[in-house]
Chain A
């Protein structure tokens, strides 16, 4: 009988099988790694209806986060401030700027400004700002150096494992409660090597939930 297969087939067949197995295993890795929020979500920085600059307000002018996001210590949501809050200053400040004009018109019409949401959690994950602030987790820990962002950008993956990393070992991310809104905290030597357990102002040691119903109800 004549040969059915040519010589080279002996080599190619092997090469193909080996490569296929390689691809299979790398696929699992690719999906679990490059399709995680760390790669899909971080850096999300949508265009906002009003070009509000945190860099200017929180950074250069050093306004405290809580001047606008004033429910952060009492509620789950660090609510976006009502337009009225902007008008507190902008009745007099930079009234002629076109961006402020948008705000004023919205306010006069009693319409809200349609901000685009940056930090989005799944609907079945229940996050509460108040308890994190109370525990002394800095704004910057999750939101990054907002004081340096002209336009707000997602800083952390906000993925479950990312949350868990801190819930399992919170102390590296804790700071004195007075410093929660201090964007630069940590860079200053004053608080170098802060030890939460030694902090006299803490009434209790932080025990974040690690069980399911801690976040999923």
Chain B
């Protein structure tokens, strides 16, 4: 299960957490951090801030491909199942003079199963990529961090980052419009 199990920071402490009051402050701060060349860091916000991926320099998500694969598998499997079950493989019944493989009649189920595959792909694919559920996370230790789901915006830089240096990074975050920067234990 190693692949699936969410991995927590290995360093002795988690890292640094900076707080911002507006999407704008966060946006500009993210640009700085990105330009500073950090890789193991994240922005936190109560809603997806528009275009923030640019500011963070994120690559496009792979979700759509997972969905496509899921949909194809669902539809393909569905059609195959129906063909097998209603012909020699299963029980070839003579139904209303229709052929054993009456494909037009099989479309609805094929379609529905395709959708199901896609839906599972997107939902569980998203869970997998985001490593959810992750009920325990060091950031939950921070009191301030509670308002991330309300009206505050945060940047967290993890100690595992190669460029991470407690003092320098602290300095970098202070230089942004952060309302506060705090040190997060790896509890």
Question: A residues engaging B (CB < 8 A)?
Answer: 1-7, 9-11, 13-15, 18, 164, 210-212
Contact = CB atoms under 8 A, between A and B. Distances in A.
Nearest to B142: A1
B141 A2 contact: yes
Of B133, B142, B145, B187, chain A has the most CB atoms within 10 Å of the CB of B133
A9 B135 contact: yes
Q: 6 tightest CB-CB pairs across the interface, nearest first?
A: A5-B135, A9-B135, A5-B136, A7-B136, A1-B146, A3-B140
Given A1-B146, A14-B5, A15-B1, A6 B136 contact: yes
Given A1-B143, A3-B187, A10 B1 contact: no
A211 B142 CA distance: 71
A13 B143 contact: no
Nearest to A1: B146
Contacts of B140: 1, 3-4
9 contacts: A9-B136, A10-B8, A10-B133, A10-B134, A11-B5, A13-B133, A14-B4, A15-B1, A211-B94
Nearest to A212: B93
A10 B141 contact: no
A2 B145 CA distance: 11
Contacts of B146: 1
Nearest to A2: B141
B135 A13 contact: yes
Nearest to A161: B91
Contacts of A210: 92
Given A10-B6, A211-B93, 8 more contacts: A3-B141, A4-B135, A5-B135, A10-B133, A14-B1, A164-B91, A211-B94, A212-B93
Nearest to B88: A168
A10 B4 CA distance: 11
Interface residues of B, number: 20
B98 to A, nearest CB: 15
A18 B3 CA distance: 13
Contacts of B134: 10
Contacts of B187: 3
A2 B140 CA distance: 7
Nearest to A5: B135
Contacts of A9: 135-136
B119 to A, nearest CB: 16
A11 B140 CA distance: 17
Contacts of A6: 136
Contacts of B5: 10-11, 14
A196 to B, nearest CB: 22
Nearest to B141: A3
A14 B141 CA distance: 22
B49 to A, nearest CB: 23
A18 B1 contact: yes
Contact of B135 (A10, A15, A211): A10
A63 B80 CA distance: 53
A103 B89 CA distance: 51
Given A10-B6, A211-B94, A3 B1 contact: no
